């Protein structure tokens, strides 16, 4: 049979639980067996899903020939060629092929389905059998007797420990009366029938057995304590031997010894039967006979003779003749069994049967070396346990009050709710110190003996022994917990009846603490590990002194083997983060750091069957009995088969089971709703699919659940995660439920919308009005109606087929969702799961979801897009810069004739089209980026509009910038053209004079070197110049023009301001003044609270001072940018300066500052005063450079050289002309070209060289900068960074990141027409003679340019380039918002000049937090980072001296902060680990 079913390969390498639970396509696709080898697997899959059809996994019958001859011969003996397989043969084959742990799982599932289970399993080759004691160890039963029911009490025990009568039923020879069918009737109530035993009238029951003859099955009856419905008043066991008893003598002997009575079914008795019955295997008083009539009188008569010889009386025999039916037989048997029970018959425990079995040579499954060794280890631990509460207090001290106080401290450290009037940092230091003390106190405890034994077993036992050990521990601990709880419940009822409220509270507390399982031992080890890790971090113990470093590896092995591990400690409502993350890290290491996962979680009200549903769908082992509901959250792994990994996209599924929401034991607690919200937020945040369990009959609980769920999903919208939600409505069994509940689903959606609005209001989130705003919800496909688990009343109820079938359909839907595109986020790695656990729990502790949720995955995803965006933005800017450079060259090379009015319009139209094309291209790139499946883009969905908006802002910026520059260049070009026209006219006159002079000299034959010739040139030049008008350009008074614009800008600010402006005679008088803060800049119109706050902190004073300084810097940068251009002054420059200042005053962070108009006037006077002087210099230089007469005077030496060379170098005049061309035409053009393209080339080089990452995002940039500062530890640099951030950054970029200049030059040059004219003047030689001379001087010109650049400071070089690389890289590194700097890591206020006025010392409270008293509103509390703690500690005196204050009074723990702590803090702040 084993060969036939193709299970021979499992005869040595047994099937394990993981082989059955691993996820594959067959796990959720209902496939009927196609051939015999499918039968065992179909049986197992159905059984794991608690499907009642598991025992009959046969092929669907197909009637191939409906016209078959019904008159053919009946041949009962002829064996059909395609004879099917008996279900019990399949069962025996599967059990023989399974290891002991899978056998145990099979038996518990069979018992749950109310199937009879194997008691004695035949070996299959007729040589013996095995008592399946270990396989039944996991079965727990709960019942009540009539006496107990009166007080509404019950008994719950492990099945093998229950002492009960056993009634065995065997068959002798052939019998028309079905023994198994009769037994089913005996054990079933009329209204609740169960097929405990398979019989011939059931599917597959009439098939000939090949492997299962000699199988002894056993089942039980348990009463509920109702006389009207109980068949038997106490539990009984019923054993059923399969096959003829004569063929299974060993089994019969065993049953005879352990049974209260043995019932033999027979129809005929032969001599051999007589000999067998008279052999004395069973005492006559416990041997009973059920005799059926054969229908043959002679045979029946002979049968009666044999009965007389056996001394069988009417008392121990039941006859079935023609006058009686099966019902009467059942009644008589039930009566006889009840009589046995009343007469105190023999009772036996299943675990005590092993002695009898061994005596008879029957093997016992748990009698093996590994199992017994593990059992002994477990006994050594559990025998010390009497009272569970006392034992936990004695042996598990770390997870008691110490751990609970630590958990409360962690949340208080984040929330600061009990701070009162204490200084925030000092209170934090107190909490931190207490936190450390608690860990030290934990670490002082030695490992108790019980924990030592547990740890010893976990480290020393083999893998199989360890599995046995954990099972034994579970059985024994569950048993102890049940006994303790039973006693406490009884005591509770007694005290309740007496009305003793005080005692009730004490007992209630004891009940909640009386749970004891393996998870408590692991939790205690986790606490030892946590405390040790904490002390290692604090350097109180050395790493080589660690004792528990290998614990995470042990726990990771358990998780790999399917053992549920605690994620959230439900007793302390906390996550031992170090313990959990290190376990997951070990798991990651074991799986090669490559495994990806999907996460499925369940939420719901307590006792709605969450654990049962998960166990049913996935065959898991979450605790569902033992009187212990799930507390906290547990996680378990299910591996995905290799053949299915590609389709599912992951290697395993992580399933998280949670404690029930709205738990009665937590209802009285003030923060119970908060506790539920925290748990829901965590598990929803971790999950890909969240199952919401609800009981339809409890509308109030449904509503409460909806509100908690709405909060959790609203928060997840902010994190970027979008788990799929499936609502499970339990206890809905009507076939029309889905259709009838259409209205209910609509109502549910209305409730969800209502709860979402409430949650959004509580979370201060605007714009959320419906559940669909926070997740995709299809009310048709996301709601499941599942019947109740039990068909009837437990403990004798069978599994409801509808439950298992609907659970199966739900499972199929879940995997359909996982395979499809419904889930936004991609499968996560273990490393990413760790990050999510840390960040979500940190956010839970801080209560800061809507305000500031972020983790390294979000930061990395944002950075990846920022890097891409920076590249796209630079390409955009580069194209526009390249076009504009060409356009500028084109404009500057145009003559006055070519510079037409439509030139400007045409250029603007071209660039507008290019900008629009590039904008659309960039928008498309962003949209395509969000469509990709990798990179965690779903986490930054909320930033999509930010990036799209940045593109539009960029387009607007470039539009305005280029259009203004085109107008500006054309304006100045027109002015220059007019001047150049005059200059050209002057040059023509002068050249005519020089030509005449040359001719005159030649006629007079004056020789070379004649000084008189130079004198004649000087006379001619002076005479000609005197005939030209003196000046063609009017010099402007820039200071007065700008003052006039300022007066217009401030004319609505009041009489005092106007009066002061009238007293300003010259704006340039303010050029040497620097901005100095004045108390008159602060408005006195404050409320008392603000005045008091300012008195203590001077925060507004320093903010206004910094505002003034930043405006001076920003406007100075604008002026410097304009100075770099070679054009004159434009009136728009002053307008733009005023616009920069006015726009800054309208920003949110400035508009609420108490600023007076006097501050606005003074800051504008300082800025415009300084600018007016620089613009005046620029204007004067423009006049000097472009006035025709000075320009002509500058050409005089060249004309003189030209004149003299005519006579000195008559043979080779082109050599001097070539030199002149290189020096005065080509060299200036090359220098201008270099300046124009140098900025772009530097940025391109920075990007291509790999240095760009530091500038690709604000996060990378600030991290690199602060790390460099930490390495150098220069106080002056820190002072500059804190108080003059932008100036510091620009200097830092120029100093540390830009390493070399552009190395290539193109040929797009702007060469002065007037200078070229000088060269061509008097040049009559062939141009081909000029070229060699020109090449001779080109190399020299290049060397001169390179030497000049090398000999010039970098700042001087950058001051001449129109596209400043420092400014461009700073824009890239500042992020998309381009707002004022805000530190990502919180620093003490004292670093920014903040002092306490009462003491005059530097403040240590952080930038984002003000005094937290009832008088002041406080923003989200945070702690100063260790980075800035270290800096203030290191430079406390220097900062105090610089700010003219007393040194800060540092908390004690700040003094212990090291440079390593500072660097670690920096890495954590910027997610750089």
Under 8 Å between Cβ of 133 and 204: no
**pLDDT band, residue 313 (cuts 50/70/90):** confident
Give burial (CB, 10 Å; 0-12/13-18/19+) of 71. exposed
Q: What's the start-to-end Cα distance of the chain, in Å?
A: 59
1181 is written with which tokens? Answer: 């230089």
Highest-confidence range of 585-599, 1093-1107, 1443-1457, by mean pLDDT? 585-599
Residue carrying the six token digits 């025992």: 55
Cα separation, 891 vs 972, whole angstroms: 10
Sequence length of the chain is 1473
pLDDT surpassing 90 at residue 611: no
Q: How far is 1305 from 852, CA to CA, in rounded Å?
A: 49
pLDDT of amino acid 989: 84
In the three-class reduction of DSSP (H, G, I as helix; E, B as strand; rest coil), residue 783 is classed as strand
Instruction: Please list, in sequence order, all residues whose beta carbon lies within 8 angstroms of the beta carbon of residue 756, skipping any fewer than 6 positions away.
Output: 710, 713, 714, 768, 769, 770, 771, 773, 774
For residue 436, how many other CB atoms are within 10 A of its CB?
A: 16
SS3 sequence of 897-963 = CCCCHHHHHHHHHHHHHHHHHHHHHHHHHHHHHHHCCCCCHHHHHHHHHHHHHHHHHHHHHHHHHHH
Output Rg (C-alpha) for the chain, integer angstroms: 47
- Rounded CA-CA distance 970/899 in Å is 8
Contact 1451, 1424 (CB under 8 A): no
**Would you state the structure tokens that stand for residue 556, as one six-digit string?**
């990771």
Q: pLDDT tens-digit profile of 1306-1318? A: 334 444 545 544 4
Burial 542-554 (b: 16+ CB within 10 A, else e): eeeeeebeebbbb
pLDDT in the model for residue 139 = 93
- pLDDT greater than 70 at residue 345: yes
Rounded to whole angstroms, the Cα distance separating 103 from 15 reads 9
Residue 1263 has a pLDDT of 85
Highest mean pLDDT pick, 140-144, 964-968, 1212-1216: 140-144
Query: Considering only 290-304, 406-420, 903-917, 1066-1080, which range has the smallest mean pLDDT?
Result: 290-304
Q: Which residues contact 1237 (CB under 8 A, 6 or more apart)?
A: 885, 1302, 1305, 1306
Q: Return d(Cα 254, Cα 1424) in angstroms, integer.
A: 75
Report pLDDT digits (tens) over 690-718.
898 887 555 556 666 666 777 777 777 66
Phi, psi for 1031 (deg, rounded to 5): -145, 140
Q: What are phi and psi of 158, to 5 degrees?
A: -70, 135
Q: Tell me the backbone φ, ψ of residue 265, rounded to 5 degrees.
A: -95, 125
Q: Round to whole Å and give the CA distance between 773 and 776.
A: 8
Helix intervals (H) in 98-217: 100-112, 146-150, 179-187
Torsion of CA 425, 429, 431, 437, to 10 degrees: 180
Residue 253: which of 178, 364, 337, 361 has the closest Cα? Answer: 361
pTM of the model: 0.73
Is residue 556 within 8 Å of residue 587, measured between CB atoms?
yes
Rounded-to-integer distance, Cα 48 and Cα 309, Å: 51
In the predicted model, what is the mean pLDDT of residues 204-216? 90
- Which of 412-421, 683-692, 705-714, 1256-1265 shows the lowest mean pLDDT across its residues? 705-714
- b/e 605-624 (16+ beta carbons within 10 angstroms → b): bbebbbbbbbbbbbbbbbbb
Structure tokens that stand for 55 in this block: 């025992």
Instruction: Kindly tell me if the per-residue pLDDT of 142 is higher than 80.
Output: yes
- What whole-number distance in Å separates Cα of residue 1409 and Cα of residue 1391? 14
Task: Collapse the DSSP code of 167 into the 3-class scheme (helix H, G, I; strand E, B; otherwise coil) and give the result.
Answer: strand
% the chain with pLDDT above 70? 79
Return the number of other C-beta atoms located less than 10 Å from residue 522's C-beta: 22
What pLDDT does 1120 receive?
86
Beta strand spans in 354-410 (E): 363-364
Distance (Å, whole) CA 1246 – CA 1273: 26
Task: Show the tokens assigned to 657.
Answer: 């089971």
Query: Does 148 score more than 90 pLDDT?
Result: no
CB 161 within 8 A of CB 482: no
pLDDT level of residue 1185 (50, 70, 90 thresholds): confident
Alpha-carbon distance of 1410 to 416, in angstroms, equals 13
- H/E element, 289: strand 287-292
Structure tokens at 831: 């490393």
Q: What distance in Å separates the CA atoms of residue 957 and residue 951, rounded to the nearest whole number? A: 10
Among 1089, 1130, 1133, 1103, smallest CA distance to 1115 is for 1133
Q: Is 363 helix (H, G, I), strand (E, B) or coil?
A: strand
Q: Is pLDDT above 80 for 364?
A: yes
Mapped onto helix, strand or coil, the DSSP state of residue 1007 is: coil
Instruction: Give 3-state DSSP helix, strand, coil % of the chain, rounded to 5.
Output: 60, 10, 30
Helices (H) and strands (E) in the chain, counts: 55, 23
Contact yes or no for 862/944 (Cβ under 8 A): no
Round to whole Å and give the CA distance between 445 and 544. Answer: 19
pLDDT at 1435 over 60: yes
**1402 forms bridges with which residues in the sheet?**
1395
Angstrom distance (rounded) from CA 790 to CA 803: 8
- Could you tell me which residue, 1002 or 666, shows the higher pLDDT? 1002
CA distance 1036 to 1134: 14
C-alpha to C-alpha distance for 641 and 618, rounded to whole angstroms: 14
pLDDT score recorded for residue 438: 93
Element housing 1254 (H / E): helix 1253-1256
DSSP per position, 1062-1082:
HT---GGGGTT------GGGB
Report whether pLDDT(816) > 80: yes
Q: At residue 670, does pLDDT exceed 80? A: no
Residue 38 tokens read as: 């499918």
| Residue 668 scores a pLDDT above 50 | no
pLDDT of 1415: 26
CA–chain centroid gap for 1243, Å, is 35
The angle subtended at Cα 375 by Cα 373 and Cα 377, nearest 5°, is: 75
* pLDDT at residue 697, as a whole number: 52
Residue 1376 binned pLDDT confidence (cut-offs 50, 70, 90)? very low
Strand intervals (E) in 1354-1433? 1395-1396, 1401-1402
Higher pLDDT, 1332 or 589: 589
Instruction: Decide if pLDDT at 599 tops 90.
Output: yes
Does residue 261 contact residue 168 with C-beta atoms inside 8 Å? yes
Residue 141 pairs in a beta bridge with 157
Distance between CA 1155 and CA 1148 in Å, rounded? 13
Tokens of residue 553, six digits: 């590896």
* Token pair belonging to 772: 């669909």
Give the three-state DSSP class for 596: strand
The angle that helices 39-48 and 87-97 make with each other, rounded to 10 degrees, is 80
DSSP state of 1388: B
Mean pLDDT of 529-547: 91
For residue 1178, is the peptide bond before it cis, meaning its omega torsion is within 30 degrees of 0?
no
Q: Is 6 left (phi over 0), alpha (psi -120 to 50) or beta?
A: left
């Amino acid at each position: 049979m084993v060969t036939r079913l193709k299970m021979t390969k499992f005869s040595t390498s047994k099937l394990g639980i993981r082989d059955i639970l691993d996820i594959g396509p067959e796990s959720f696709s209902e496939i009927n067996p196609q051939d015999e080898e499918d039968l065992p697997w179909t049986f197992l899959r159905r059984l794991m899903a608690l499907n009642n059809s598991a025992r009959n996994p046969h092929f669907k019958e197909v009637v191939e020939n409906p016209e078959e001859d019904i008159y053919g011969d009946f041949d009962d003996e002829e064996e059909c060629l395609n004879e099917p397989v008996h279900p019990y043969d399949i069962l025996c084959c599967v059990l023989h092929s399974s290891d002991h742990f899978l056998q145990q799982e099979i038996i518990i599932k069979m018992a749950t389905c109310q199937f009879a289970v194997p008691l004695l399993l035949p070996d299959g080759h007729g040589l013996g059998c095995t008592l399946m004691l270990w396989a039944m160890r996991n079965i727990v039963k709960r019942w009540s007797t009539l006496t107990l029911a009166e007080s509404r009490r019950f008994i719950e025990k492990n099945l093998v420990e229950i002492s009960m009568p056993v009634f065995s039923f065997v068959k002798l020879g052939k019998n028309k009366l079905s023994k198994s069918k009769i037994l089913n009737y005996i054990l079933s109530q009329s209204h609740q029938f169960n097929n405990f035993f398979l019989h011939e009238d059931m599917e597959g029951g009439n098939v000939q057995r090949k492997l299962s003859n000699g199988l002894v099955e056993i089942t039980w009856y348990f009463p509920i304590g109702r006389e009207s419905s109980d068949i038997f008043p106490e539990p009984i066991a019923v054993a059923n031997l399969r096959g003829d008893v004569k063929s299974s003598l060993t089994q019969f002997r065993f049953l005879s010894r352990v049974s209260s009575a043995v019932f033999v079914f027979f129809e005929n008795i032969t001599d051999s039967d007589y000999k067998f019955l008279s052999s004395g295997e069973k005492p006559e008083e416990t041997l009973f006979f059920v005799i059926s009539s054969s229908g043959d009188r002679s045979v029946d008569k002979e049968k009666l003779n044999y009965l007389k010889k056996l001394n069988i009386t009417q008392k121990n025999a039941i006859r079935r003749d023609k006058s009686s039916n099966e019902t009467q037989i059942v009644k008589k048997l039930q009566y006889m069994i009840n009589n046995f029970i009343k007469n105190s018959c023999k009772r036996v425990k299943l675990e005590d049967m092993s002695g009898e079995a061994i005596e008879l040579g029957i093997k016992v499954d748990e009698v093996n070396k590994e199992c017994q060794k593990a059992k002994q280890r477990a006994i050594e631990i559990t025998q010390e346990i009497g009272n569970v509460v006392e034992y936990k207090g004695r042996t598990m001290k770390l997870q008691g009050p110490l751990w609970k106080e630590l958990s409360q401290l962690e949340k208080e450290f984040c929330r600061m709710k009990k701070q009162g009037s204490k200084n925030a940092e000092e209170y934090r230091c107190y909490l931190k110190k207490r936190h450390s003390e608690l860990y030290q106190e934990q670490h002082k405890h030695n490992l108790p003996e019980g924990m030592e034994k547990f740890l010893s077993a976990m480290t020393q036992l083999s893998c199989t022994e360890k599995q046995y050990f954990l099972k034994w521990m579970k059985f024994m601990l569950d048993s102890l917990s049940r006994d303790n709880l039973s006693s406490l419940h009884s005591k509770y009822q007694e005290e309740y009846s007496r009305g003793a409220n005080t005692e009730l509270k004490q007992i209630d507390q004891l009940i909640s603490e009386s749970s004891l399982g393996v998870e408590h031992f692991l939790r205690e080890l986790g606490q030892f590990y946590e405390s040790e890790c904490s002390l290692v971090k604090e350097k109180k113990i050395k790493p080589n002194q660690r004792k528990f470093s290998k614990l995470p590896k042990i726990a990771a092995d358990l998780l790999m083997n399917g053992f549920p591990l605690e994620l959230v400690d439900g007793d302390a409502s906390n996550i031992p983060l170090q313990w959990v993350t290190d376990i997951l890290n070990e798991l990651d290491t074991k799986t090669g750091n490559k495994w990806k996962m999907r996460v499925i979680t369940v939420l719901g009200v307590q006792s709605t069957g969450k654990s049962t549903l998960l166990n049913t769908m996935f065959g898991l082992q979450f605790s569902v009995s033992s009187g212990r509901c799930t507390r906290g959250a547990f996680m378990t792994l299910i591996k995905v088969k290799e053949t299915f990994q590609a389709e599912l996209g992951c290697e395993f599924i992580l399933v998280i089971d949670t404690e029930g929401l709205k738990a009665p034991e937590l209802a009285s607690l003030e923060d119970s709703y908060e506790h539920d919200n925290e748990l829901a937020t965590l598990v929803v945040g971790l999950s890909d699919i969240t199952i919401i369990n609800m009981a339809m009959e409890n509308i109030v609980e449904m509503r409460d659940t909806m509100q908690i769920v709405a909060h959790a999903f609203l928060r997840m919208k902010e994190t970027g995660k979008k788990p799929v939600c499936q609502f499970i409505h339990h206890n809905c069994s009507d076939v029309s439920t889905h259709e009838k509940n259409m209205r209910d689903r609509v109502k549910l959606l209305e409730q969800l919308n209502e709860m979402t609005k409430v949650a959004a209001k509580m979370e201060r989130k605007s714009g959320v009005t419906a559940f669909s705003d926070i997740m995709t919800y299809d009310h048709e496909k996301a709601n499941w109606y599942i019947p109740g688990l039990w068909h009837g009343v437990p403990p004798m109820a069978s599994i409801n087929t509808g439950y298992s079938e609907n659970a199966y359909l739900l499972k199929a839907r879940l995997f359909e969702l996982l395979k499809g595109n419904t889930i936004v986020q991609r499968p996560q790695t273990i490393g990413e799961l760790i990050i999510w656990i840390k960040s979500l729990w940190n956010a839970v502790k801080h209560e800061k979801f809507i305000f500031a949720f972020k983790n390294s995955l979000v930061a990395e995803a944002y950075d990846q897009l920022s890097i891409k965006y920076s590249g796209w933005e630079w390409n955009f800017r580069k194209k526009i810069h390249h076009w504009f450079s060409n356009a500028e060259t084109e404009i500057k090379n145009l003559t006055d004739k070519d510079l037409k009015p439509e030139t400007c319009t045409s250029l603007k139209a071209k660039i507008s089209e290019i900008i629009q094309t590039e904008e659309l291209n960039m928008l498309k790139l962003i949209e395509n980026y969000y469509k990709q499946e990798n990179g965690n883009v779903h986490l930054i969905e909320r930033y999509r509009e930010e990036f799209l908006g940045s593109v539009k802002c960029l387009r607007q910026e470039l539009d305005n910038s280029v259009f203004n520059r085109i107008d500006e260049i054309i304006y100045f070009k027109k002015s220059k053209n007019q001047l150049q026209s005059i200059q050209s006219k002057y040059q023509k006159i002068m050249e005519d004079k020089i030509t005449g002079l040359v001719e005159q000299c030649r006629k007079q034959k004056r020789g070379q070197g004649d000084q008189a010739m130079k004198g004649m040139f000087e006379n001619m030049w002076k005479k000609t110049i005197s005939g030209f008008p003196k000046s063609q350009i009017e010099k402007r008074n820039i200071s007065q023009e700008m003052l006039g614009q300022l007066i217009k800008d401030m004319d609505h600010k009041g009489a005092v301001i106007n009066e002061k402006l009238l007293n300003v005679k010259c704006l340039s008088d303010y050029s040497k003044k620097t901005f100095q803060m004045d108390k008159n800049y602060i408005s006195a119109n404050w409320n008392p609270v603000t005045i008091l706050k300012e008195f203590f902190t001077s925060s507004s004073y320093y903010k206004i001072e910094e505002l003034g300084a930043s405006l001076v810097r920003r406007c100075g940068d604008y002026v410097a940018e304009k100075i770099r251009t070679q054009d004159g002054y434009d009136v728009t420059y002053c307008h733009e300066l005023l616009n920069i200042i006015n726009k800054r005053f309208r920003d949110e962070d400035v508009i609420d500052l108490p600023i007076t108009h006097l501050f606005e006037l003074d800051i504008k006077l300082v800025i415009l005063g300084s600018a007016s002087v620089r613009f005046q210099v620029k204007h004067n230089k423009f006049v000097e450079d472009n006035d025709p007469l000075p320009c002509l005077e500058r050409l005089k030496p060249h004309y003189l050289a030209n004149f003299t060379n005519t006579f000195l170098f008559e043979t080779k005049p082109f050599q001097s002309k070539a030199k002149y061309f290189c020096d005065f035409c080509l060299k200036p053009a090359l220098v201008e070209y270099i300046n124009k393209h140098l900025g772009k080339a530097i940025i391109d080089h920075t990007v291509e060289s790999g240095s760009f990452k530091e500038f690709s995002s604000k996060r990378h940039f600030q991290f690199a900068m602060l790390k460099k500062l930490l390495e150098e530890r220069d106080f002056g640099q820190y002072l500059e960074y804190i108080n003059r951030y932008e100036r510091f950054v620009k200097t830092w970029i120029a100093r540390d990141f830009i390493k070399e200049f552009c190395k290539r030059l193109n040929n797009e040059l702007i060469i002065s027409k007037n200078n070229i004219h000088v060269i061509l003047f008097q040049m009559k030689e062939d141009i081909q003679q000029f070229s060699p001379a020109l090449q001779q001087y080109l190399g020299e010109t290049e060397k001169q340019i390179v030497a000049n650049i090398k000999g010039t400071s970098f700042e001087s070089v950058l001051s001449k380039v129109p596209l400043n690389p420092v400014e461009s890289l700073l824009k890239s590194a500042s992020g998309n918002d381009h707002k004022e700097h805000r530190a990502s890591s919180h620093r003490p206020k004292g670093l920014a000049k903040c002092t306490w006025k009462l003491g005059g010392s530097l403040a240590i409270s952080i930038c984002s937090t003000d005094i937290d008293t009832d008088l002041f509103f406080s923003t989200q509390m945070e702690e100063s980072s260790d980075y800035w703690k270290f800096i203030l500690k290191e430079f406390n005196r220097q900062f105090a001296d610089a700010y003219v204050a007393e040194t800060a009074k540092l908390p004690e723990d700040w003094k212990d902060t090291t440079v390593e702590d500072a660097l670690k803090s920096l890495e954590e702040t910027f997610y750089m680990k």
